[in-house]
Amino acid sequence: MSDKKESKDVQQIRTCRNFGVIAHIDAGKTTFSERILYITGKSHKVGEVHEGEATMDYLEEERKRGITITSAATTCHWREHRMSLIDTPGHVDFTAEVERSLRVLDGAVGVFCAVAGVQPQSETVWRQANRYKVPRVAFVNKMDRTGADFYKAVASMRTRLNANPVPMVMPIGKEKEFHGVVDLVDMRACTWTEDDAREMRVGAIPDDLLAEARKRREQLVEAVAECDDVVLEKFVEGEEVTIAELMAAIRKGTLELKITPVFCGAAFKDKGVQNVLDAIVDFLPSPLDVPPIEGTDPETDEKIVRELLPDQPFAALVFKTISDPNGDLTFVRVYTGEMHQGEKYYNARTRRFERIGRLVRMHAAQREPIDVARAGDIVAAVGIKDSITGDTLSTREHPVIYEAMDFPDTVISMAIEPRSGGDRDKLSEVIGKLVREDPTFKARTDEQTGQMVISGMGELHLEVKCNMIMNDYRIPVTVGRPKVAYKMTLRGPKQVEARHIKQSGGSGQFAVARVRFGTDPEVETLNFVDAVKGGSVPREYIPAVEAGIEAAIKGGGRIGFPYCKITAELYDGQAHDVDSSAMAFEAAGVLAFRLAAENNSQLLEPIMKIEIEAPEDKTGDVIGDLSSRRGIIEEMISKPGGISAVTGKVPLAEMFQYSTSLRSLTQGRGTYTMEPASYEPVPPNIAEKVLDEYGKG
């Protein structure tokens, strides 16, 4: 590749921005995304969420409910930069969509409500972004609402997110009178007209705001000085910091996750969106600014680190699949090299090649065909058969596997059956497609009843999937009452000796395993420790004991609830020169756990973190109702507009159909959000009922 060609390719990557829009449900993410498309000229008409016409909410279920369910990708241009935007869901039931989007994005825009500030789901998505080390800018939306307070929202980011928010603007006017911002970097006023807020007038700062603007700029320079030595030196010496130096320091601090630049506006009225578009170009990373991604060689397990450039061997991560009548779509993020239409690429997990039938750039539900995707691109491919979320595609000569994504366990399940026996195979096929698309949606056949059981992240999650089966795939189904995903753990430590000895002509089976079992709240499923001394259990059989214990834990014993938080220490055992085998020791491992669990098990249930917003005069009723559901109230805060926010924890088993109860308690004015918090022991009287019910079922 010539230097000229290489520099052109690198320049193309440098002017690329891959970012997502993340926030709590109803903070205005999709409205903000729609305004970006309108202002950048990608859309000629604004799609309104409340009218069910949002471009980014293109599924029937999304338009009906006015919420985002699946993350939608699109591409637009601003200041000669190509932007790949992913609008993510805000509802906790669809958290996998946020998780897999953040895994492949270089930056993010966090949208917050100026009235409510940081809300529960904002915390969840912020933590996800922290985990993937995604640089962010923040946009405080709904500044024209009654009770809007920019600085209160910024303060809530500091306290609830442990972030370091740095305001880049100062609002001009409050609530209904909000009509502009002071740009604290350029020290100029940006105001909008009511006729067309896309027309931003830039001028001098009004005299009555100048003193406060200077004070706010001083605070901005002080906050940014900690990220950059040049600015720090000038700040300490009392010298004037140039705009270029300040911009460079803000970018450096943002990329190093030391600060979060904060802007404000009202997306519904187009106010403030241009400032954020400029910030995405100026402060968020291009693919070249992101540290090289680490992978593993599937043949040797050696680490592979490559610069994210087109002249490197090809590698891309599959982060989403969608079933589509026009051909299943597989979304990929190209990290290195180039991906060409019609070529074959290697999947090291399946050890198979995938042929790329067509490559497309997505604009929500519309597709724009392309011939080649380069490093830094987020595109969709048609024709990929066996690759699923988290798989890496590479070349056979330079295979690589990037770290897959972890998704939370499902917390709720229900039985589903076709109304007509002839639709059974069709239903299985459709559910298979949905499972492939969504890593937090699971399906299995109940061995006792023969029913198909689907599991997900919440009532809404399963309701949406059932509606898709009935409306999109035209299969009438009957669903059972949702059931909670209970788990088990041991009541206390137990030391056991498991003897698996069978003799029946010819070679027998002989294995003795002595294991100490216990529990640890930090352990997810099993922590196995090999403490065998003196070779009483030969080295080659120790993994078999672990495999046996693991199989027994997942099997869940008589009732079928899987065990968790288990520690197992294999400290001794016996083997036979002829009759011992890996199979015998695996059977001993299974038996060891069964002995430890006998009369020593306790039931655990999923506990949800809940935040309820309700009118102050109804708060007593809401708290009383929550207490009757075994809920524990942690905090109560008064919010503007006579609203109280109640936060606490409550068992999921008590929360079915809660939205209906809350509506009647608050005359339709209450709202709530829930997300999984932990698994805790079930009170003995309730545990008895649950075990009885499931034991009979």
φ, ψ of residue 373 in degrees (nearest 5):
-120, 135
Q: Which of 84-93, 236-245, 403-412 has the highest mean pLDDT?
A: 236-245
Indicate if the pLDDT at residue 3 is higher than 60: no
Q: Is the dihedral of CA 85, 87, 92, 97 positive or negative?
A: negative
- Over residues 392-411, the mean pLDDT reads 88
The whole-number pLDDT of residue 7 equals: 65
Percentage of residues of the chain with pLDDT beyond 90: 47
* Confidence grade of residue 289 (pLDDT, cut at 50, 70, 90): very high
* Range from 60-64, 529-533, 609-613 carrying the lowest mean pLDDT: 60-64
Asked if pLDDT for residue 696 goes beyond 60, the answer is no
Residue scoring higher pLDDT (598 or 51)? 598
User: Mind listing the pLDDT tens digit for each residue in 344-356?
Assistant: 999 999 999 999 9
26: pLDDT strictly greater than 80: no
CA distance 564 to 550: 10
Which run of H or of E encompasses 38?
Answer: helix 29-39
Whether residue 347 contacts residue 353, with contact meaning beta carbons closer than 8 Å, is answered with yes
pLDDT digits (tens, 9 = 90+) for 233-267: 988 888 889 999 999 999 999 999 999 999 999 98
Mean pLDDT of 94-98: 77
Residue 63 has pLDDT above 60, yes or no: no
Q: Are 599 and 496 in contact (CB under 8 A)?
A: no
More confident residue, 544 or 405: 544
pLDDT over 90 at 368, yes or no: no
Q: What is the pTM of this model?
A: 0.75
Give yes or no for residue 341 having a pLDDT over 80.
Answer: yes
Alpha carbon distance 366, 43 (integer Å):
12
Mean pLDDT, the chain, integer? 86
Q: Residues 437, 469: contact at Cβ < 8 Å? A: no
Tokens representing residue 244 in the block: 């270029």
Q: What is the pLDDT, as a whole number, of residue 627? A: 94
Q: Is 436 exposed, middle or buried (0-12, 13-18, 19+ CB in 10 A)?
A: middle
Burial class of residue 73, CB neighbours in 10 A (0-12, 13-18, 19+): buried
> For the CA atoms of the chain, what is the radius of gyration?
28
DSSP3 helix / strand / coil % (the chain, rounded to 5) = 35, 30, 35
Q: What is the per-residue DSSP string for 170-228? A: EEES-GGG--EEEETTTTEEEEE-SS-TTSEEEEPPPHHHHHHHHHHHHHHHHHHHTT-
Kindly indicate the confidence band of residue 535, based on its pLDDT and cuts at 50, 70 and 90: confident
Predicted local confidence at residue 42, as pLDDT: 61
Cα-based distances in Å from 69 to 30, 72, 197, 432, 657: 11, 9, 29, 19, 20
Using alpha carbons, select from 559, 584, 564, 557 the residue that is nearest to residue 573.
Answer: 584
Which of 123-127, 538-542, 649-653, 681-685 has the weakest average pLDDT? 123-127
Residue 602 structure tokens = 């306790």
CA distance 601 to 580: 30
**pLDDT tens, residue by residue, 606-640:** 999 998 988 888 899 999 999 999 999 999 988 77
pLDDT given at position 403: 87
Does residue 450 or residue 351 have the better pLDDT?
Answer: 351
- Beta-carbon count within 10 A of 506 CB: 6
The residue assigned the tokens 């106010």 is 271
Percent of the chain whose pLDDT exceeds 70: 91
Question: Over the stretch 190-204, which tens digit does the pLDDT of each residue have?
Answer: 998 776 666 788 999
SS3 282: helix
Confidence of residue 56 (pLDDT cuts 50, 70, 90): very low
The answer to whether residues 55 and 74 touch, using CB atoms and an 8 Å cutoff, is: yes
Give mean pLDDT, residues 255-283. Answer: 94
Taking residues 659-686, report their average pLDDT: 85
